[in-house]
Homo-oligomer: A and B are copies of this chain.
């Protein structure tokens, strides 16, 4: 159950995403439909919520926060579209819906993903805030999305798949720090930056975001083992089937749960200096750790 503040931000993000995506009734309609399918049919909106929850710590203007919230979700959504392609994870189900290449076709899915990435930067470039801050937001997002961030992590994952036992724990964590962690850290950092956070504050939030990103992935790996496809909204058991490097495969379930507890402690410590104002970030940490899908 989402608390009212998080629910309100989620609704706000959904509306901002719907408004930023190209309309269904203008050409090329199929591309636009595929882009909207990729983004608007469900999703936890974890990254937009992190932007708002981080921004509120520093009284950032919600109108400004909408831009990075939308942009980061567009990047996340495009990565899922490409990740689900037959040439990558070959997944037919996502958020309980047919994946984009299943609902449309592979070529449209590739293009829709590409256009979603462009749109993310277009949205950020139009954020109603000083150009200097916009450039910094653009730099953070581009770096987090690219070869030294999310795409780099995907490439490491590709190299490790079918070879699950060969990674060390440090390598597995590095992979996830790039693959999912880079965007999560970017979300928190962009929100804080919109409110004028200082370097010490950004450093504490990086510790929180780093632990959150890893916790999110450990929980994901546990759910792939324990969950069922109907609840998850995606195909369960794929990691084992593909001999993916996962925390349960490397550590076992018990030690994976212990690692999750450690990461929860790390989040708690990093948020302590912010007191009661960080309640939304704490709630998002609990959601990541306790979610069942």
CB A22 to nearest CB in B, in angstroms, measures 5
Say whether A92 faces chain B, with CB atoms less than 8 Å apart.
no
Say whether A31 faces chain B, with CB atoms less than 8 Å apart.
yes
CB A258 to nearest CB in B, in angstroms, measures 28
Say whether A227 faces chain B, with CB atoms less than 8 Å apart.
no
Which residues in B have their C-beta under 8 angstroms from that of A131? 130-132, 134-135
Q: Is the CB of B115 within 8 A of A156?
A: no
CB A16 to nearest CB in B, in angstroms, measures 17
Q: Is the CB of B139 within 8 A of A126?
A: yes
Say whether A276 faces chain B, with CB atoms less than 8 Å apart.
no
Q: Is the CB of B148 within 8 A of A121?
A: no
Q: Mark A7-45, 1 if CB is under 8 A from B, else 0.
A: 000000000000000100001101110010000000000
Q: Is the CB of B122 within 8 A of A142?
A: yes
Q: A27-B156, A110-B87 are in contact. Are A119 and B135 (CB under 8 A)?
A: no
Looking at A105, A122, A130, A149, which has the most chain B CB atoms within 10 Å of its CB?
A122
Q: Is the CB of B139 within 8 A of A30?
A: no
CB A85 to nearest CB in B, in angstroms, measures 7
Q: Is the CB of B142 within 8 A of A28?
A: no
Q: Is the CB of B107 within 8 A of A119?
A: no
Q: Is the CB of A147 within 8 A of B118?
A: yes
Instruction: Count residues of A near B (Cβ-Cβ below 8 Å).
Output: 52
Q: A131-B135, A147-B28 are in contact. Are A114 and B117 (CB under 8 A)?
A: yes
CB A162 to nearest CB in B, in angstroms, measures 12
Bound-state Cα–Cα, A119 to B158, Å: 20
Which residues in B have their C-beta under 8 angstroms from that of A105? 87
Say whether A138 faces chain B, with CB atoms less than 8 Å apart.
yes
Say whether A235 faces chain B, with CB atoms less than 8 Å apart.
no
Q: Is the CB of B126 within 8 A of A107?
A: no
Say whether A154 faces chain B, with CB atoms less than 8 Å apart.
yes
Q: A125-B135, A146-B122 are in contact. Are A111 and B28 (CB under 8 A)?
A: no
What are the 9 A-B residue pairs with the smallest beta carbon separation, nearest first? A118-B146, A87-B106, A31-B155, A122-B142, A115-B151, A28-B155, A125-B139, A131-B131, A121-B142
Task: Spell out A's residues near B (CB within 8 Å).
Answer: 22, 27-28, 30-32, 35, 78-79, 82, 85, 87-88, 105-108, 110-111, 113-115, 117-119, 121-122, 124-126, 130-132, 134-135, 138-139, 141-143, 145-149, 151-152, 154-156, 158-159
**Between-chain CB contacts (< 8 Å), 6 pairs:** A28-B155, A31-B147, A78-B114, A108-B158, A124-B138, A131-B131
